[in-house]
Structure 1
Amino acid sequence: MMSSIKHYLAPFIAPIALSALMLSAPAIQAQNITLKVIGQPLATGNIQKNREQPFFEQLAAKTGLPITVEYKPLDTLGIKDTEQLRIMKAGLFDMVSLRFSQNSRDEPALIGMDLVGGSPDYEKSRKVVDAWLPILDARLQKQFGIKLLGHWPFGPQMIFCKKPITQLSDVKGMKIRVADQSMAKFLELVGATPVPMAFTEVHQALSLGVIDCAVTGPSSANSAAWSEIVTHQLPLGFQMSMNGYGISLKTWNRLKPDQQAKLQAAFTELTNDIWKYSKELSDDALRCNEGSDPCTTGKKYKVKTVPVSEADIKLVGTAIDKVSFPAWAPVCDKTNPTCSADWKKTVGPIVGVK
């Protein structure tokens, strides 16, 4: 009896099954998401090369999510590092490896976690960043439609000069490349002339004598071959050069809650790893720049390391209360009236600003 029924229904089952498959195809396709990603510039070196790019290339396999990643380093796109927030807001990309200080003119709150004198080393910087992150994330979501998935530092930002220096005060009268206004204000305090400039333009500017010195991390200076031009490095940390990974809310909201959790977990693991890797790179690059061993991650040069004095450490330590916060607060309050008050409540106790 059963076999005769199956035989009778056979002509109808195949079309029905085919129709069901066709109906389900768009639903399956709709789950696939292409992520267009702006990465760090190739010129920034090891973090981009050894951590960031491999992570995005393996993201689908690592998370098991139905995504296709189209990862492009910033300097292969013809986009300036100061334009990232505007490009994300326009919906041209889904994710960004966001350079905080470079985009602070569009959103001053980005500098709140990296004011000069507030984050001189990794331990203190992590506390500052974690305290400010919820407020910054809410701000970026509201103003630019970007949700932050994590943060990490390039490392202590220091001065590299092509002219001899023996202490911080020797930069008086020199033209120094900076990435944000916080650093610019501090250098004005010590008598230098700050020159805002994109990272990718610095090597040529140093070569041509447009600038005398430049501020960046030791690993970035080595990777970008600044160390073949400069003669002196002063290993005195001013900031940590914070970066973060942001995803457009439109793309984020297309993901199911369990998919969001998997993606967030992957970025948390990545950024925790970069914090450790950044410290290793910075220590090694300082040795590489001066031609010392061990040098395992960079190229050896012959840059002279200037001893850091207690007076210079003290001067940088006073910067946040005397210069960087007073200069930044009204700028941030202009775009967000509660900005500096929020910062004092969350970050102030950590850095000693009341």
Structure 2
Amino acid sequence: MRFRLLLAAFAAATLAATLAFPAAAQERIKFKAIGQPLATGLIQKNREQPFFEHFAEKTGLPIDVDYKPIDTLGVKDTEQLRVMKAGLFDIVSLRVSQNSRDEPTILGLDLVGASPDYATGRKVANAYFDTIDARLQQQFKVKLLGVWPFGPQILFCKKPIAKLADVKGMKVRVYDQNLAKFIELVGGTPVPVSFADTHQSLSLGVVDCAITGPSSANSAGWPEVTTHQLPIGFQMALNGYAISMKAWNSLKPDQQAKLKTAFEGLTDDIWKYSEELFQDALNCNAGKDPCTTGKKFKLVNVPVTAADGDLIRSAVTKVSLPVWAEVCDKSNPGCSQKWRSTVAPVLGLK
């Protein structure tokens, strides 16, 4: 009997508290967010996760975010746009190349040869932002909030090289078809190998060279089985942040403005941090100081020549744009023309 009275009293008190503070109960907003995989390293760990874990503080909004790295969710990184469209999550740290099969338009952000360095990558991202935003809203009811880079994907070789053209006759580990076509263009033999298998493939001579970011190469021990690194970016490994239109439209205009400003601040920070990590990893791989984020090795750091720059930029018109345009125009008529009118001018292409 006493327990029932206590329960009734508790229920009455709870109801009274709810009625007394309806605004407080309604002011807090809860969002669910998909993050980058834990395995992607320091950007996820030191920039992305802290931002989401302190979301209300970072944005100045009454929003609490349930943030989960995608490799802890049981969701494939190729399915991000689908689960967002289905309404299962509110915010996504979008992996661009992985989701380009579902929406080829977004790969126009990171064509092989278009962004060999950070400055160019930033120009491309800014020029193409509105095109991707409009397409994602139309097809997936998702709004783009920001674009950021993991950083240039560069060349590692176990044979001496002095320039990019020296890969002629060599077997090169690649991770997508556009990259394979470019390696063929410069006379190399592209070999598709998973990242996890690349160290062994280099060690056994299955491949002579391989492409990834310098920080990833360092953590995976590639400098143990290679001798040279050429720090020219084949791709910038660009990614983005996006929010479902349902979540976006649930916010008032002033809240939307605050959220947009916060994500612009986050992506600006990641652009700077990514470049710092890139340079630090290059130093570590070559055994130089400062080296604060990785293990020191003794790779030869091959200077990037003007001819290398010309060669990598030629990939856009000779390989990556034609291959991508054919696929993109099939699913999104006028896709490649839109790229030519927005991105091509900042690259000096006609």
Normalised TM-score (structure 1)? 0.84
Classify 1:167/1:223 alpha carbon distance in 2 versus 1 (closer, same or farther; 3 Å). Answer: same
SS in 1 for 2:146: strand
Classify 1:346/1:170 alpha carbon distance in 2 versus 1 (closer, same or farther; 3 Å). Answer: same
Amino acid at match of 1:343: W
1:324 to 274, 299, 320: 320
Structure 1 residue aligned with 2:182? 186
- Larger displacement relative to structure 2 (129-138 or 321-330): 321-330
Question: How do 1:1-354 and structure 2 match up within 5 A?
Answer: 22-23=18-19, 28-172=24-168, 174-195=170-191, 202=198, 211-354=207-350
The answer to whether the Cα contact below 8 Å between 1:43 and 1:224 also exists between their aligned partners in 2 is no
Amino acid at match of 1:182: N
The answer to whether the Cα contact below 8 Å between 2:152 and 2:234 also exists between their aligned partners in 1 is yes
SS in 2 for 1:318: helix
Structure 2 residue aligned with 1:7? none
Structure 2 residue aligned with 1:6? none
SS in 1 for 2:44: helix
Aligned length: 339
Percent identity reads 67
Pairwise CA distance, 1:270 = 0.8
Structure 2 residue aligned with 1:4? none
Amino acid at match of 1:341: Q
Larger Rg: 1
Classify 1:107/1:163 alpha carbon distance in 2 versus 1 (closer, same or farther; 3 Å). Answer: farther
The answer to whether the Cα contact below 8 Å between 1:37 and 1:96 also exists between their aligned partners in 2 is yes
Classify 1:191/1:38 alpha carbon distance in 2 versus 1 (closer, same or farther; 3 Å). Answer: farther
Classify 1:96/1:309 alpha carbon distance in 2 versus 1 (closer, same or farther; 3 Å). Answer: same
Pairwise CA distance, 1:90 = 3.0
The answer to whether the Cα contact below 8 Å between 1:34 and 1:67 also exists between their aligned partners in 2 is yes
Distance 2:87 2:189 in 1: 37
Q: Root-mean-square deviation (CA), in Å? A: 2.8
Pairwise CA distance, 1:209 = 6.2
Pairwise CA distance, 1:126 = 1.4
Distance 2:245 2:204 in 1: 43
Amino acid at match of 2:254: D
Gap runs ≥5 in structure 2: 1-12
SS in 2 for 1:110: helix
The answer to whether the Cα contact below 8 Å between 1:291 and 1:301 also exists between their aligned partners in 2 is yes
Normalised TM-score (structure 2)? 0.85
Classify 1:309/1:64 alpha carbon distance in 2 versus 1 (closer, same or farther; 3 Å). Answer: closer
